[in-house]
């Protein structure tokens, strides 16, 4: 199943921007549940429940949340196919700043595990399916690779994954991608300002001097989460290093024209002989794009994910 982009989305930037800014999914009937983490923080979970014994868990991307069109689109499509859906919000991404000094990050699998353990302890599902987009895809792959097989987790699908974090951050910081990098940085800096109100010891004097995501990660993400610097943070959390440990049937879909992804994010040498992991690299699609207009508002990525999960 190869993706064919609509004619008017004739380059990678349009394929990326249109689904993010123009797509309208409409109301999704989420019911919110707040859970407490082991370190006395909170995570907000947005549910669509209809009595199914199958649950699809969706992890969003950098500075995303459960209301992003790509999350709502998959949630709506999965619900229509008969799944219960759980779209969880990373720390500080649900509309309220989190309580602890730490934020979320690309390798914070402890929070994903907190969500999964909450589901297992409080709900009776016979099968769990994991999905993730971009940063959430990296998080999902790392989670699957670093933990022993959980028989309840049956399959996983991830899209637009920066499997190699350092080179992907370098790629997004190129001049041609300034629109994306600036948008992320603006949102990340605002969260640091909010966090400063709760933790005055958090230095905000350096914020105006931060020009790239790597500089932000070097100044805030790495030290706040126990890493020496951005380089160590990237190395220890790049999902490319965890693919070998994945035992659950997993599909990775990275478009070759994705403006965020470096060449290292297409590891055919690692996946070609892998017994559980399959890598698909459509020539088009952009970053978390894959728009289509022939299936009642269901995007190609959503259709592809549900087909893989049903096989």
Coil/strand/helix, residue 51:
coil
Catalytic annotation, pick one of 13, 60, 118, 287: 287
Contacts of 128 (CB under 8 A, 6+ apart): 54, 55, 57, 116, 119, 150, 152, 153, 154
CATH value of 12-164+237-310 in 3.40.50.1820, 3.30.428.10, 3.40.50.620, 3.60.70.12 = 3.40.50.1820
* Percentage above 70 pLDDT, the chain: 99
Average pLDDT, the chain: 96
Q: Report the C-alpha gap between 237 and 139 in whole angstroms.
A: 8
The yes-or-no answer on residue 167 being catalytic is no
pLDDT (tens digit, 9 = 90+) per residue, 191-240? 999 999 999 999 999 999 999 999 999 999 999 999 999 999 999 999 99
DSSP letter, residue 82: T
The yes-or-no answer on residue 258 being catalytic is yes
Q: Report the C-alpha gap between 263 and 292 in whole angstroms.
A: 26
Q: Report the C-alpha gap between 132 and 53 in whole angstroms.
A: 21
Catalytic annotation, pick one of 134, 168, 238, 301: 134
Q: Report the C-alpha gap between 262 and 256 in whole angstroms.
A: 9
* Percentage above 90 pLDDT, the chain: 96
Beta bridge partners of 250: 156, 277
pLDDT recorded at residue 1:
60
Contacts of 301 (CB under 8 A, 6+ apart): 70, 74, 159, 253, 285, 288, 289, 290
Does the global pTM surpass 0.85? yes
For the record, the structure tokens of 311 come out as 């096989």
Q: pLDDT band at residue 148, thresholds of 50, 70 and 90?
A: low
pLDDT recorded at residue 311:
84
pLDDT recorded at residue 46:
98
Catalytic annotation, pick one of 239, 258, 262, 301: 258
Q: Flag whether pLDDT at 147 surpasses 90.
A: no
């Amino acid at each position: 199943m190869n993706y064919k982009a609509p004619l008017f989305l004739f380059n990678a930037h349009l394929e990326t921007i249109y689904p993010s800014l123009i797509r309208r999914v409409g109301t999704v009937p989420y019911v919110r549940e707040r859970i407490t983490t082991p370190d006395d923080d909170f995570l907000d979970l947005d549910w669509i429940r209809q009595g199914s014994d199958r649950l699809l868990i969706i992890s969003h991307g950098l500075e995303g949340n459960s209301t992003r069109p790509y999350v709502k689109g998959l949630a709506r499509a999965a619900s229509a196919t008969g799944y219960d859906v759980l779209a969880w919000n990373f720390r500080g991404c649900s509309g309220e700043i989190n309580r602890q000094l730490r934020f979320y990050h690309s390798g914070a699998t402890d929070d994903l595990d907190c969500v999964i353990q909450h589901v297992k302890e409080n709900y009776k599902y016979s099968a769990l399916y994991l999905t993730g987009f971009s940063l959430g895809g990296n998080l999902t792959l790392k989670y699957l690779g670093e933990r022993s097989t959980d028989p309840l987790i049956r399959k996983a699908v991830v899209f637009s994954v920066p499997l190699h974090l350092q080179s992907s951050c370098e790629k997004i910081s190129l001049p041609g991608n300034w629109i994306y990098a600036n948008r992320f940085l603006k949102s990340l800096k605002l969260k640091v300002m909010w966090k400063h109100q709760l933790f005055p010891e958090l230095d905000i004097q350096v914020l105006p001097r931060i020009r790239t995501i790597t500089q932000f990660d070097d100044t805030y993400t790495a030290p706040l989460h126990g890493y020496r610097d951005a380089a160590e943070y990237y190395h220890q959390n790049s999902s490319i290093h965890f693919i070998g440990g994945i035992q659950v049937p997993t599909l990775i879909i990275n478009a070759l024209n994705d403006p965020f992804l470096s060449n290292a994010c297409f590891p055919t040498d690692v996946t070609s002989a892998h017994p559980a992991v399959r890598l698909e690299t459509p020539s088009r699609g952009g970053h978390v794009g894959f728009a289509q207009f022939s299936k009642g508002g269901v995007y190609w990525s959503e259709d592809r994910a549900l087909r893989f999960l049903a096989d």
